[in-house]
Chains A and B, each alone.
Chain A
Amino acid sequence: MFENSTSPFRSHRRSLLKSVAAGFGGVALNALCQQAAASEIGGSPFHFTPRAKRVIFMFMKGGPSQVDTFDYKPQLQKDDGKPLPFAKPRVQFAPTGNLLGSPWRFRQYGQSGIPVSELFPNVAQLVDDICFLNSVHGTNSAHGGAALKLHTGSDNFVRPSMGAWVSYGLGTENHNLPSFVTICPTLAHGGVNNWGSAFLPAQHQGIPLGVASQPATAAAVKYIANPKWSTAAQRTQLDLLRELNQQHLLQTADDVAMEARIHSYELAFRMQSEMPRLQDLTQETKETQDMYGLNEKMTENFARQCLMARRFAEAGVRFIQVTHSDSFVQWDQHGDLRKGHTKNAAEVDKPIAGLLRDLKQRGLLEDTLVLWGGEFGRTPTAQGTTDGRDHNPEGFTMWMAGGGVKGGTRYGATDEYGYYATEKPMHMHDVHATLLHLMGLDHKRLTYRYAGRDFRLTDVAGDVHHGVFS
């Protein structure tokens, strides 16, 4: 039902179906569209053999510090307090001072021996499943621009988000669910544009469950529950509606749009029970819950998001985003790095490790691409009077796991202090290109014509980094 009626691989019936385009949920006339699909796709939607079928993106709002987590820099520790021996970027968010060594110790883990700081003791156990992208860089040093760039590939125009592109390219695996959900997203710094579909058909936009200011327990699709009628009363109502609509349909003769709308009420009615069922975490065993840290105060909220993400992944949602963001800019430690990062990492470390383990034990990690990261990293130089670090888009770390990536590797590198991406620099456009490639999509061929031009997630840039693949 979330039929992807306007995917680039079908075009003939586009004009007919445009007016009844599906969405959350698309009501693309199941039968009609599937016929269309069968007769017109005549092949697969993929440009390459896909390594991953779905994405779980864990967005760390605010910009976690790379040099305090996954990008160990012994030289930085050594030169703590000294001036940076090379120039700072042309455009900086704010002035910073001398080098600031990481207050956290690093240890090597796993067979790969990748060093991880003591902030992430649980994720550290899984380094052999993770490919750390140590050379990611962006172009914007402010939260808004950087978050937009990360989510949509553009920081100055409203463009479709990466989840929307993936949905557009591949559609959904479950016609009773949206293809793209985002759990507790933040409205600041780009807001809906970070999960919107812009000029792509509406069914590809991310469906938000709650917002960042709400606890994950309150995360729900808007209008999913009725405040006045029981399910049975609503059923009675829909029966009358159907009768009136049928009579209307007789007068207007066959009209695709009218029929689609009749279906849309039935689909909505089913979704009302389907979504809460998927979000009901009491159906999970105590062991599973504990693995995510669902029953501990510190980790409960993010654990809930991660566990929901797994359930959505299992149910066939194509792109799932979870967001770690409180009422401030969670990872934005311009000051109080020690306190802030300690708390932030403690909230997510166990849930993330739980999710990876759970996906693995269910055989889902093989074809689920997990992406972790913030909109930028932080400077190795100090800011403020207490310990603090400024925004740094010049070189930072994101990581991928599962879905065809090479675990136990560090891909690319920053300079000896972790300021600039120096080895195999991976621009955000490259991250997008690589992610699409893993999904079986060529970022140069996944295009949509709008306002006289073919648009891409990667604009006119983006290189696939094959070194990331297993």
Chain B
Amino acid sequence: MTQRETIQRESDGAAAPPAERRLDVVSVLFRFQSMLGLVAVFIAAVLFSPHRGAQILFLTSENLFNVVRAVAEIGIIAVGMTFVILIGGIDLSVGAVLGLAAVGSAVLMVENGMGVVPTVLLVLLIGLVFGLLQGIASARFGIQSFIVTLAGLQVARGLARIWSGGQGVAIAYGDGPGEAPVAFSLLGERTFNGLVPIPALIFVVVAAAAIAFLRVSVFARHLYAVGGNQKAARLSGVPVNRVKIAVFGISGALAALAGIVHAGQLNQGSPNDGAGYELDAIAAVVIGGTSLAGGRGSVVGTVAGALLLGVLNNVLALNNIDANIQLLIKGLVIVAAAGLQRLRPAL
């Protein structure tokens, strides 16, 4: 098997050693570990769902789309986070960047009278540049990404507070001054007969693009190489620093995209928004089977991880489990998923 094929298999979340392609039960199970978790939680949700007559409330189409809408922002962030974690890094700034982007979207449209397209592009650029700067600080100066992005979190929060004047900027729609273009309100809407939420569609598109990108691009090979063995990657001519900087750029841009979606869904940009979202995103990535040590994992897994968390949240809420107990259950599920990773047969 060639190097390229190996990497492609890895990007599928493959665990089976290429030399011996025994499709024994264990390796298949672990290969689809993140999917299995999602399926298990989904079945549990169906079983434990409250009923209204013969109707299983969890399975109503509106509820299922609610789940996807609810995880859309975390999911978009988690896709970017997957790139960062694949090289063995971490990005703690994404929640704050989401807040900054939400504020930016609101202020640019409401106070500066900018149109939707320039606003979106500028906000995405801000996220991209913010991420790239963190990548440069981490790669060029050899500071651990944990510290760099922890600092980045503070900086982004501070910028969001300054830009917004310390309070939420409401987005009102219309053509007049102080009003945002009506087109932006699409982000809070549903399409296909008022069923499919736009943020869910955006999440699906982002995830699909990332999956495709990781399958075909040269960059993806470099990514897994850097995450697997940095020294070996460098020696074999992979531009390690450039790869590192790029993944933080991707993560920042996607966090900004999530922030735009956030502003559109809530009709407001608040500097405090997105607090703690980075942890949910990391949880989704880890549940999805991506190793925090880098080099192994997939976006498919992350999507499954995000949906797993969403389904879990949803069914706990539908059953009105006490909010404090919910935290315990979610914690246990994350530990269980991480534990499964350790059990995974070595490559």
Q: Do A and B belong to a common assembly? A: no
Q: Which residues from chain A sit less than 8 Å from chain B, CB to CB?
A: none
